[in-house]
Structure 1
Amino acid sequence: MVPGPSIQVCEGDKVVVDVENHMEGMEVTIHWHGIWQRGTQYYDELEYDIYQWIAGNAGTHFWHAHTGLQKMDGLYGSIAIRQPPSKDPNSNLYDFDLTTHVMLLSDWMHEDAAERFPGRLAVNTGQDPESLLINGKGQFRDPNTGFMTNTPLEVFTITPGRRYRFRMINSFASVCPAQLTIQGHDLTLIATDGEPVHPVKVNTIISFSGERYDFVINADQDPGAYWIQLRGLGECGIRRVQQLGILRYARNAYQPSSAPPTYDYGIPQGVVLNPLDARFAPNGDHVISLIDEISYLSAPSPLLSQYDDINPEQFCNGDNRPANCGQNCMCTHKVDIPLNAIVEVVLVDEGKDTIAVPNNGYVVLRFRADNPGFWLFHCHFLFHIVIGMNLIFQVGSLSDLPPVPEGFPTCGDHRPQITLDINSSHYHD
């Protein structure tokens, strides 16, 4: 089932999720992307069979695996937390907010993601997807044979004269930006990353992995069926990767009368949200992911529940680098932040939790450190995460945290103990 189950709740609800892992020899952790986790810090990104948290912040969010490359293999799903219309400053712009109008965008490879894992010092690894999906659906045209799969496209149904809120989630795992355009219809943007924004009317939305955009479609065109075009940009443009969906007016044709748009002859883009600048790839002989010249190395035990089990020398940051740390400096990158401090890391849209940084660019952001815990700050491109483009914000001290839940599982050191037999040249574990 791709995507996984959608979680649709109301603001203030308590959410309890049972996770059953039937993958032999593989653990799984779930991250609730966009959920504040105030008071439920222990139930985010940890290996656990029951997750529970309060739906404290309304908006469009999503959940996904945070272990290895499992997200790229389809372990993700949508979250919609609704609130009373009186609390939504843009509620007057739409008539319906339906569970069927969640639009989850994803990229797709034709083999397990682990088979495409590049290795730390490899290049030309073929990490681009073969296809894109809308709510797990789509068709694929083989570029070598021209054969098209006979698989269904996603169809969204609307009624003439009504206005509909759509919740779009970018669940890409690759570096490709996603470009979404709907034939003949304007998109009135009303929220991003779960937070309302001043409405703006566009024709095309470009988004990056982890971003969410809510927009309103006014069903004011001639009743019929219209194409939805999703194009992969950047590196995905080399393969001309795209996917189609259908916006259908109720009690009308299921298939648009016009020919399907192609990658190079697509739906007119019109006014574009987040247009891309020209980009040039740097030259290099190997690939490594860094933040502040440090490649993130996972701690041997959970920081929240077993902090005292970790050797202090495991941690580092820009002011405290390990001795003799070379070009590929690796350690558990942690930045200590006093509770309730104001942190400046360039200020952009208030409320954003995912920001695209252009090549050779930078971003300045500010957040209020009022939620104690250990929070992962990372790139959302999956291959970048697993090779070290992460760090941990420690907000507050251990005494600021709520108590560890009763019966919370503990972990041993995941690293094998290595001993050296002085009478042999071989290592043993």
Structure 2
Amino acid sequence: MNTLMVMGYGNSIAMSQILVVVVEILLLVKIGEPLECKRKEIVTNTPVISSNCYRECEYPSKPTVCEYEFNVVLHQTMSAHCGDCPFKKEDCNLEKCVPVDGSSRPLIAVNGSLPGPSIVVCEGDTIRVKVTNNLQSGAGVTMHWHGIHQTNTNWMDGVPRATQCAVARGSSFVYEFIAEPAGTHWWHSHAGYQRASGAFGPLIVRKSRKTEFNSNTYDFDLPEHTMTLTDWADMTSLDIALKVNIPALNPRSQTVTILMNGKGERIEFFDETGQIFKTPRQMFEVEAGKKYKIRLIGAFIAACMTSFHIEKHSMTIISTEGGEIIPYETDYLTIAQGERYDFVLHANAVPSAYCIYASGYGNSSCPSNATFILKYKSSPLNNPTCASYAVVPASQDRDQYMGNRSKGMFSAIDFVSSDPGDQELYRVDLRHYITLRSYAIYKHPKDPGYLNGFLAVDNVIYTPPLLPFVTNEPDDSDICQSTLNKTFYYTCGMKQCVCTNILKIKLGKVVEIVFLNTDEDIIQHPMHMHGGSFRLLGLGSFHTKKMTLDNVIQLDKEGGLLRNSPVKAALKDTVMVPSNGYAILRMKAENPGYWFFHCHTMNHGERGMVIVLQFGEPSEMPKPPLDFPRCEGWEPK
């Protein structure tokens, strides 16, 4: 061991050298050296501090504090940062180059990339993210950790004016929470339309293979095998939202592309010889004979479903939103906004390069076929020619989310959980039938102030509270609760009702929610729950039969809505409620707090399709730190 001793005369030079080193270290800390560069090994029981937390997860676990810094700025796709992209493919990977599909438009970039930084940790780690808002627009920012239950940390859930104040420009906010449950999750801004402008990225919580039910089904679980899918338009999300909500007399049209990990191809570039170049597609490399765990994230924005298929390879689904299932093999996978699936890819085809297809459907504006590449390492081919056909079998169309096993399509309702769960879920303490509805407020587009429809839950258009729930108990004048006044809800169908929509449930109660999308609405609604998971017991469509709320309740009493066993049903936090259909969910209210439950179609959530689940009384809820921002207004005395 080297020992440094400073004593006697002649050591002034040594001492000055030590002081210089100390000053240099302090300066590095002062000017904000990225947290990613810090790894501190500690010999005591205090967790290690690191942002590079990708490692083999152990059992028993050895928790680590994983630190990150997010810098949120306005940026430009296909900018000068891209050099000679796409003529030089390597330039498309330059720092701060965001090539997308070759189009140029503003975006919100976190740390200069799309998607933003990947967080990869082990279950039980502490995640600490310092988010700094440097948006030149002056807009506020929050980050939601989609899939994280936030047990005892409701105020870290990242919903503006519900669990926190938005972070103002030039300010920062440090999120700190426990990484649980294990699974494929993601983070994204929950402020306005920022998620649709690029503020999102993967959040992977791994677990020890000793505790993973399906650990023997694959050889590798690698960060580079995360597939984040999103739909990307050549107009900003706010432009599109305004065009939909307040129709222009001379509207612009937009073109939409599906991206994987921020990459796609659409725009054609020509060199001086007339040769065509396009931005590169995302490529994944595999080794023949090996089995890979692939993590698929549906970071979609628009009201579309996406069919996913890998040429000459089947997929064995082993998990959805962190809930492990009995392995389920399929050729086609349908994924909705906010959903995530883990599947095993067996590289058992002839070594070559194969096409990965993603195709949007659901309405005429959904993006058509997009292709990406699966390449065997031993194959010289790396740019296969992919067919430009629709991946969705024509007969599936409207009912595709319910699946059709004879055509190799999966159905989420057929999943069987590998976790038997809580036997208490066999009982139901409360059952709520909740309607999802979209409707126009004004019938004449040229009327002043015309708005092209609102989205509602139980006929109520959600508006956020004046002050966050977690620091200020809701004011009775602002909220409406179906458990208190059902008559109010029934009259809302005849008039516009706007309030903070809360469903209050006592702690420990088992609640069943039946979402109904039956008001002649041709659009599916992906409903995402914060703060926990539910068992998906039932999912179905009434096809062309017109059903009212009373019709469905009566049908259910007669046994017409089928339910799976509550301990075998898959654990999920997001479900696509089919058009003219229903979804049946069951959960136990055991995480006290205020939890958003909303449509994850970007414009639908922002336009009011939200309900807040209140689990427990305020006195039973963990309290945020005393100095937590309260967002209170101010006026001179």
CA distance in 2, matches of 1:97, 1:133: 22
Tell me the CA shift for residue 242 of structure 1: 2.7
Match of 1:353 in 2: 573
| Alignment of 1:27 onto 2:152 | no
Match of 1:262 in 2: 388
| Alignment of 1:202 onto 2:330 | yes
Match of 1:305 in 2: 471
Q: Which among 332, 335, 355 is matched to residue 227 of structure 1?
A: 355
| Alignment of 1:3 onto 2:142 | no
Match of 2:510 in 1: 342
Q: SS at 2:576's partner residue?
A: coil
Q: SS at 2:220's partner residue?
A: coil
Instruction: Give the direction of change, closer, same or farther, for the CA distance of 1:244–1:323 in structure 2 (3 Å limit).
Output: closer
1:265-304 paired onto structure 2 within 5 Å: 271-274=408-411, 285=443, 286-304=452-470
Tell me the CA shift for residue 11 of structure 1: 0.8
Tell me the CA shift for residue 267 of structure 1: 10
Q: CA deviation digits over 1:267-298, x for unaligned, max 9?
A: 999511249xxxxx999754220111101011
Tell me the CA shift for residue 252 of structure 1: 2.2
CA distance in 2, matches of 1:127, 1:195: 40
Tell me the CA shift for residue 6 of structure 1: 0.8
CA distance in 2, matches of 1:335, 1:126: 40
CA distance in 2, matches of 1:383, 1:150: 30
| Alignment of 1:332 onto 2:445 | no
Q: CA deviation digits over 1:66-103, x for unaligned, max 9?
A: 11111110111111111111211111110000010000
Match of 2:126 in 1: 14
Q: SS at 1:403's partner residue?
A: coil
Q: Which among 600, 607, 614 is matched to residue 394 of structure 1?
A: 614
RMSD (CA atoms):
2.9
Q: SS at 2:456's partner residue?
A: coil
Q: CA deviation digits over 1:386-427, x for unaligned, max 9?
A: 11000111111111122221431120249x99xxxxxxxxxx
Tell me the CA shift for residue 260 of structure 1: 1.6
Q: SS at 1:231's partner residue?
A: strand
1:17-416 paired onto structure 2 within 5 Å: 17-23=129-135, 24-45=137-158, 46=164, 47=166, 49-118=173-242, 122=246, 130-141=256-267, 150-235=278-363, 241-257=368-384, 259-264=385-390, 271-274=408-411, 285=443, 286-307=452-473, 310-318=474-482, 319-320=484-485, 321=488, 327-346=495-514, 347-348=537-538, 349-413=569-633
Tell me the CA shift for residue 360 of structure 1: 1.5
Q: Percent identity?
A: 34
CA distance in 2, matches of 1:188, 1:333: 39
Match of 1:278 in 2: none
Q: Which moved more, 1:100-109 or 1:265-274?
A: 265-274
Alpha-carbon contact 2:226-2:295 (below 8 Å) kept? yes
Tell me the CA shift for residue 261 of structure 1: 1.8
CA distance in 2, matches of 1:282, 1:79: 32
Tell me the CA shift for residue 105 of structure 1: 0.4
Alpha-carbon contact 2:461-2:610 (below 8 Å) kept? yes
Tell me the CA shift for residue 238 of structure 1: 5.1
Could you tell me which amino acid in structure 1 is paired with residue 301 of structure 2? A
CA distance in 2, matches of 1:100, 1:55: 20
Q: SS at 1:184's partner residue?
A: coil
CA distance in 2, matches of 1:412, 1:27: 16
Instruction: Give the direction of change, closer, same or farther, for the CA distance of 1:265–1:339 in structure 2 (3 Å limit).
Output: closer
Structure 2 residues without counterparts, runs of 5 or longer: 1-112, 159-163, 168-172, 269-274, 397-406, 413-436, 444-451, 515-536, 539-568
Could you tell me which amino acid in structure 2 is paired with residue 105 of structure 1? L
Alpha-carbon contact 1:140-1:149 (below 8 Å) kept? no
Tell me the CA shift for residue 345 of structure 1: 1.1
CA distance in 1, matches of 2:610, 2:244: 15
Tell me the CA shift for residue 256 of structure 1: 4.4
Instruction: Give the direction of change, closer, same or farther, for the CA distance of 1:216–1:265 in structure 2 (3 Å limit).
Output: closer
CA distance in 2, matches of 1:123, 1:343: 40
CA distance in 1, matches of 2:346, 2:570: 27
CA distance in 1, matches of 2:586, 2:490: 31
Alpha-carbon contact 1:231-1:243 (below 8 Å) kept? yes
Q: Based on CA coordinates, which of the two structures has the bigger radius of gyration?
A: 2
Alpha-carbon contact 1:140-1:148 (below 8 Å) kept? no
Instruction: Give the direction of change, closer, same or farther, for the CA distance of 1:95–1:132 in structure 2 (3 Å limit).
Output: same
Aligned residues: 403
TM-score (ref. length: structure 2):
0.59
Q: SS at 1:106's partner residue?
A: strand
Tell me the CA shift for residue 39 of structure 1: 1.4
Instruction: Give the direction of change, closer, same or farther, for the CA distance of 1:317–1:17 in structure 2 (3 Å limit).
Output: same
Q: SS at 1:133's partner residue?
A: strand
Alpha-carbon contact 2:220-2:293 (below 8 Å) kept? yes
Alpha-carbon contact 2:501-2:612 (below 8 Å) kept? yes
Point out the structure with the larger helix share: 2
CA distance in 1, matches of 2:218, 2:393: 25
CA distance in 2, matches of 1:369, 1:28: 29
Tell me the CA shift for residue 209 of structure 1: 0.2
Q: SS at 2:571's partner residue?
A: coil
Could you tell me which amino acid in structure 2 is paired with residue 30 of structure 1? M
Could you tell me which amino acid in structure 2 is paired with residue 306 of structure 1? N
Alpha-carbon contact 1:288-1:328 (below 8 Å) kept? no
Instruction: Give the direction of change, closer, same or farther, for the CA distance of 1:128–1:82 in structure 2 (3 Å limit).
Output: farther
Instruction: Give the direction of change, closer, same or farther, for the CA distance of 1:187–1:324 in structure 2 (3 Å limit).
Output: closer
Alpha-carbon contact 2:300-2:337 (below 8 Å) kept? yes
TM-score (ref. length: structure 1):
0.87
Structure 1 residues without counterparts, runs of 5 or longer: 276-280, 418-429
